[in-house]
Structure 1
């Protein structure tokens, strides 16, 4: 009997230990070997500085980035004297001469940039820092981690009975990267510090026991590289000896070493590079060196957690959580690992905090992490989906401040974009096309085939209005109202009558990167363009009403709004991508741009527009699931909006499969370091999936908040705290056996709260609920009604299956907290 009791106690103890071990791993990426390549290294960043940490035992390698090291110099890329060609293209499109229109677009804006123009500058690596250890080739008990709860990377291993440790982080307080090296035995640290950079104009040297790297960014096309950068590494020793050679630092016999790494450039603004990189580096270093390491680390963690800890997600754990992160990715498709989904969700939030801080540049195509001078797609800002996707989680996952760098860039573009609007289109206001860079270019990029899409500004401005709907910040709206107005003015001027004279459409344009005939994509009145202009106009009208501005202009915009084409359901019961019914059921293109109206916009709703919702679903089915990483990230959000949690989870599973070693193709997947693959690496898929998981648990558009709208069978139990909804609401949700069990709503603005929940839920609360009737009186939940769709006679609609739900209203007070439990 005693043995049985002892055995039970042993099993219970093991269970407790396992539970603690599993929980401890919940917010860590963990590996049992150093990174062998960049896609295994771990990202750290503070918005300005980024590093990929390889964690080698005999050599630590940090690949380094600073957000403003871009090729080129100030200047726009707007071509001169092309308005007549645009007019001719419009005429050819009206005459159904589509191939001729495409040829003229291609010759007017050639694939390779003309000598007097450029198609954007690449974001560039600074270079690399190496720490070479003597005698560490034979090591054991190795662990490498990235703690995304603290934004700290760590390495630990043993050599000849001595344990060596490293802690590495990019300080959110003092804008330096800090590396702490320690060991379990005094005097055991022996290593040298050296660096390299691929830039042609460079110098690497030591001065006063500090390692210096200086250089100038690259020249591309007709743009001379004019970003001057400086990097300084300063080691602070406890015990031991520090000596210098020409280009490296040597440490011997140290007990502990902390290395402070600072990078700065001469960049001040897109049109101002008069900064002093030397003074900036010194300022950053001085601030950090005046603090003890422990105080610096504590301050860093506290500032980071002000953002990160706003949202928690617990989906339960299994045995899989004991394994290394790369193994969990490999086995996700064949195992139950809900905790990896939670980790992936939070990793997206970690990346956004780490690559987009107030006062920095926005997160680019790779966030801030790039190891090349000429990265894929230049690592620019691609605004026909990728840049916007980077910021989808900003509001919903309670990271509004991370949105600020994008707002700053929109403000810049609303200035530089006046040149492209005036010169290319003879229009008021501002616009841009599908790409921009550090210099805020707004002309066509990549020629008249890919680049003839004058809608980039239209999409970006949605983020301004969306931020207002989440925060209710009228001062913010007033500040950025000119950008909303400028975008509306542009489309007011460029809209053209379509050949039937029924509608106003954007011409010429395209449905991003897709074609309807072989090598022909240029057209007029694409569904996405119509949806974007609809949002631009309605946002301007609504903002003008809030601010009591421009009543006459609002009337003019409203008149044009009424002349936009309705959405159309084509012969295959699909949502048409083009004004004419030209969709092909075998089209597997990664861009499904015409579903913008489903997400991130809210023009298509299952409850208001079931026919459009069914058509959107059919388009999704035709396109298929597997695609590039960002495309699958978008599909998670779409399936969530279609209220199909299982299909959304299937896309997450597709994305959480090992990315191929080959860096080409459109296979998507995830690298061992949890970064998204196009392939190669693009960060937008990470952000898209984080947004999609949030959409599966909470949606706040269409006049109400929908609680657990797309909960998959694979996640029957869990809780999430701190999600944000439009109207200033903060939401905590608990569920068990796929049923809502507890709902907490915090109201920061007050006003009516309308919630939609499953029909079989019986909510219990001190708060009085009433069945909803009519439209939501809350100003942040007003719905902009769309026209009834045109439906092809050939379309066979079967009806969209609607979930059984119930909708309640209750009044909230500012800063009130309202708790609901199920009976």
Structure 2
């Protein structure tokens, strides 16, 4: 079973420790909650994704400027930095920050940037005593959290879920004996709660920016009596109690004002509709909606938690026991893969107003790490690495809308900071279109972020094959993003990015590897998209692609160079592996080539340590190098050193990109499709000698499954995404292939003509 479970409530060293390490997350992409499963007073920590300080009207900003109007470096600063880099070859980050980052105050703080805010807590005073047989769980397949225990001769159950169709969070408390449920419900949020008609309402505005928020929870008792008190609703002697919560703000993702209608009517309507439907209908609808996404992928690598004659291990104990080998390890790896898909579904649904941020959807602090924002130098991109390949294309639209929404303020920054057309965003952004710079020397300058985000826009087309989307949305965005670089690239032994900074590492220079690789990826994707559409990309972009320095050089100890000059230190173990972008998520470097071998040397020297997200990236990189054993080793390192008891990934602190990147890495070990062929089991680790998967997706819109035995491919199952030839690669095809249509094998590649939507079973031999 794909279930996280524990034999005690989430009680940590302090409230934040309990929230971060032990509580269990539920979410519907807009509303999030953390379930603690406590006995005296249950805490359900609530989030609403658009509750942010900062932006227009922020007191911290000092004025009501629009988000695209952030101060920029003084006139001539960019030219001065370029000139000095051309003369000296490099510039210290602190000096570059002084010249280019003077919009801020030198401490990384940007006035008016803001931070993601917790909505508050739903508190249930239960007073359970004499408890036995306690179990707290999260069923990933149903997206329902639960608590069960025995007290006073009755078996009590609680269930919690966040419904996307109903746009509410639902909590139900019940017992197997009538009249046993008594509780008091409180809503502790940013304003006093008012109780009327069994409904608690909080309403207010954020002091910083005047953002209006409202939350309501309806208390529905089955039997017993209900009493409205001062900021609380009490129920005594009921058979069951259902709580229906919803919340909203007047945020709207539209530049430059970022304000929409008052949330009162929409919140009230959601609570009333859901309350009228009843618990059973809400639960059934929620489970069916969630499973439609979650059940698309099945993975079997021989894992199970229960050994004959032995009890099932709670998840925290299974995590502590990881590394002993056997089915328990495989079960935990399978659970972690499924958990990443669960977390993406929970934090990014098709109608979500914002994409998954550094903490997905969940936050318990008014001053969260890194403001709970979107870091665009890998983190938000990594959040969406598993989306397309694990059958969750419907979770990508919040990111696509967010990127599109950055274009208008990004044009202001491109014009004022660079004197260029197109649009740009740097390393950090917020819900209010921030596209300028922080003043943190090692992590403020990254105009390549827009080009990297554009890769996700194009990948959505490659996986879905939606020509209308490519024509109307993806290609215009790619072209505009490329337009910025056509204006901004400098001539220095080829076209280069200057100034250039390998994220969070090293000096400022011209033509750092990651900068060049990202821009090459953007221009190549734009040209390829134009070819698909049958349009002319234009002479400027074709010439730029031909003249661009690709950022691929092999250095003195056989490594892929991080900078244009050979400055790499063989003892450097920095967590960023930025110069391997062209290997993953790019597609320029292939294994078993000189550059692939150099990438391997780089990874060996950087080592397997690092933060949760860094280990996840390395797992994907080793998979691209077709080294399943090394990729699996990184998976083990992730579980042993970067995973908390509730299976959240930690930097530290908690960052969700480690979870989502790990799920992507496991998928990358099983299926790749970036090189023009569907590569089945490209990096299968020896630790998984038997297994199968179904439902993974390949570029071209194909849905793929496979079975293997003793490490050898036995069968491929494929539903074609288009009419025409399908090419599959695996060493097993050296002995031929069989399917219901003519199949030819050439070397390790099998090919056959397919029809869109038709299912094919391809066997070896």
Task: Confirm or deny that 1:308 pairs with 2:291.
Answer: no
State the Cα distance separating 1:762 from its structure 2 match. 4.5
Task: Confirm or deny that 1:491 pairs with 2:485.
Answer: yes
Task: Confirm or deny that 1:289 pairs with 2:275.
Answer: yes
- The counterpart of 2:668, out of the listed 675, 680, 695, is 695
SS of 2:504 mapped into structure 1: coil
Structure 1 equivalent of residue 634 of structure 2: 651
**Superposed, which structure 2 residues align to 1:205-284 within 5 Å?**
205-217=194-206, 219=208, 225-270=209-254, 271-284=257-270
Structure 1 equivalent of residue 738 of structure 2: 764
State the Cα distance separating 1:118 from its structure 2 match. 3.0
Do the aligned partners of 1:730 and 1:747 also contact (CA within 8 Å) in 2?
yes
**Superposed, which structure 2 residues align to 1:222-621 within 5 Å?**
225-270=209-254, 271-319=257-305, 322-336=312-326, 337-360=329-352, 361-480=354-473, 481-498=475-492, 502-515=493-506, 521-549=507-535, 551=536, 554-566=538-550, 567-607=552-592, 610-621=593-604
Structure 1 equivalent of residue 87 of structure 2: 95
Do the aligned partners of 1:741 and 1:821 also contact (CA within 8 Å) in 2?
yes
SS of 2:78 mapped into structure 1: helix
Do the aligned partners of 2:385 and 2:660 also contact (CA within 8 Å) in 1?
yes
- Distance in 2, matches of 1:97 and 1:384, equals 23
Structure 2 equivalent of residue 41 of structure 1: 23
State the Cα distance separating 1:702 from its structure 2 match. 1.3
SS of 1:215 mapped into structure 2: strand
- Distance in 1, matches of 2:739 and 2:435, equals 53
Do the aligned partners of 1:72 and 1:226 also contact (CA within 8 Å) in 2?
no
Do the aligned partners of 1:156 and 1:163 also contact (CA within 8 Å) in 2?
yes
- Distance in 2, matches of 1:188 and 1:299, equals 28
SS of 1:594 mapped into structure 2: helix
State the Cα distance separating 1:358 from its structure 2 match. 1.1
State the Cα distance separating 1:303 from its structure 2 match. 1.0
Mark the runs of 5 or more structure 2 residues left unpaired by the alignment.
Answer: 12-17, 57-65
- Distance in 1, matches of 2:468 and 2:225, equals 56
Do the aligned partners of 2:357 and 2:374 also contact (CA within 8 Å) in 1?
yes
Say which is worse superposed, 209-218 or 277-286, in terms of deviation: 209-218
State the Cα distance separating 1:822 from its structure 2 match. 3.2
SS of 2:137 mapped into structure 1: strand
State the Cα distance separating 1:565 from its structure 2 match. 1.5
Structure 2 equivalent of residue 31 of structure 1: 6
SS of 1:150 mapped into structure 2: coil
Task: Confirm or deny that 1:623 pairs with 2:597.
Answer: no
SS of 2:446 mapped into structure 1: coil
SS of 2:341 mapped into structure 1: helix
State the Cα distance separating 1:536 from its structure 2 match. 1.0
- Distance in 2, matches of 1:640 and 1:80, equals 41
Task: Confirm or deny that 1:738 pairs with 2:711.
Answer: yes
SS of 1:95 mapped into structure 2: helix
- Distance in 2, matches of 1:451 and 1:404, equals 27
State the Cα distance separating 1:83 from its structure 2 match. 4.3
How many residue pairs get aligned? The number is 735
State the Cα distance separating 1:448 from its structure 2 match. 4.8
Do the aligned partners of 1:356 and 1:363 also contact (CA within 8 Å) in 2?
yes
Do the aligned partners of 2:671 and 2:679 also contact (CA within 8 Å) in 1?
yes
- The superposition leaves residues 397-419 of structure 1 with CA deviations (integer Å, 9 ceiling, x where unpaired) of 01101011000011111221101
- Distance in 2, matches of 1:55 and 1:718, equals 35
With normalisation by structure 1, the TM-score equals 0.87
SS of 2:509 mapped into structure 1: coil
**Superposed, which structure 2 residues align to 1:14-29 within 5 Å?**
26-29=1-4
State the Cα distance separating 1:116 from its structure 2 match. 11
- Distance in 1, matches of 2:428 and 2:109, equals 18
- Distance in 1, matches of 2:165 and 2:5, equals 26
State the Cα distance separating 1:218 from its structure 2 match. 5.3
State the Cα distance separating 1:293 from its structure 2 match. 1.3
Do the aligned partners of 2:107 and 2:439 also contact (CA within 8 Å) in 1?
no
- The counterpart of 1:810, out of the listed 739, 752, 759, is 752
Do the aligned partners of 2:54 and 2:112 also contact (CA within 8 Å) in 1?
no
SS of 1:678 mapped into structure 2: coil
SS of 1:633 mapped into structure 2: helix
Structure 1 equivalent of residue 53 of structure 2: 71
Distance 1:145 1:114, change over 3 A: closer
- Distance in 1, matches of 2:741 and 2:696, equals 21
Do the aligned partners of 2:737 and 2:745 also contact (CA within 8 Å) in 1?
no
- The superposition leaves residues 430-471 of structure 1 with CA deviations (integer Å, 9 ceiling, x where unpaired) of 111011111121111244542122111010000111111111
Distance 1:439 1:711, change over 3 A: same
- Distance in 2, matches of 1:104 and 1:652, equals 37
- The superposition leaves residues 124-179 of structure 1 with CA deviations (integer Å, 9 ceiling, x where unpaired) of 11011110113x13211001110110110011001121111001100121101111
State the Cα distance separating 1:117 from its structure 2 match. 5.5
State the Cα distance separating 1:564 from its structure 2 match. 1.4
Distance 1:115 1:364, change over 3 A: closer
- Distance in 1, matches of 2:662 and 2:206, equals 33
Task: Confirm or deny that 1:821 pairs with 2:763.
Answer: yes
- The superposition leaves residues 256-303 of structure 1 with CA deviations (integer Å, 9 ceiling, x where unpaired) of 111111111111224331321111111111221221211111111111
Distance 1:80 1:644, change over 3 A: closer
Distance 1:630 1:116, change over 3 A: closer
State the Cα distance separating 1:213 from its structure 2 match. 2.0
State the Cα distance separating 1:691 from its structure 2 match. 0.4
Do the aligned partners of 2:426 and 2:436 also contact (CA within 8 Å) in 1?
yes
- The superposition leaves residues 217-265 of structure 1 with CA deviations (integer Å, 9 ceiling, x where unpaired) of 353xxxxx23211111111111111112211111111111111111111
- Distance in 2, matches of 1:304 and 1:81, equals 47
Say which is worse superposed, 283-292 or 317-326, in terms of deviation: 317-326
- Distance in 2, matches of 1:97 and 1:569, equals 19
State the Cα distance separating 1:584 from its structure 2 match. 0.5
- Distance in 2, matches of 1:114 and 1:323, equals 46
Do the aligned partners of 1:112 and 1:447 also contact (CA within 8 Å) in 2?
no
Say which is worse superposed, 280-289 or 110-119, in terms of deviation: 110-119
Do the aligned partners of 2:72 and 2:436 also contact (CA within 8 Å) in 1?
no
Distance 1:244 1:81, change over 3 A: same
Structure 2 equivalent of residue 203 of structure 1: 192
Do the aligned partners of 2:258 and 2:432 also contact (CA within 8 Å) in 1?
no
- The superposition leaves residues 478-522 of structure 1 with CA deviations (integer Å, 9 ceiling, x where unpaired) of 222221111100000000112xxx21111112000011xxxxx21
Do the aligned partners of 2:130 and 2:151 also contact (CA within 8 Å) in 1?
yes
- Distance in 2, matches of 1:459 and 1:604, equals 17
Do the aligned partners of 1:646 and 1:711 also contact (CA within 8 Å) in 2?
yes
- Distance in 2, matches of 1:112 and 1:734, equals 57
- Distance in 2, matches of 1:398 and 1:656, equals 24
- Distance in 1, matches of 2:410 and 2:28, equals 29
Do the aligned partners of 1:209 and 1:249 also contact (CA within 8 Å) in 2?
yes
- The counterpart of 2:647, out of the listed 674, 699, 704, is 674
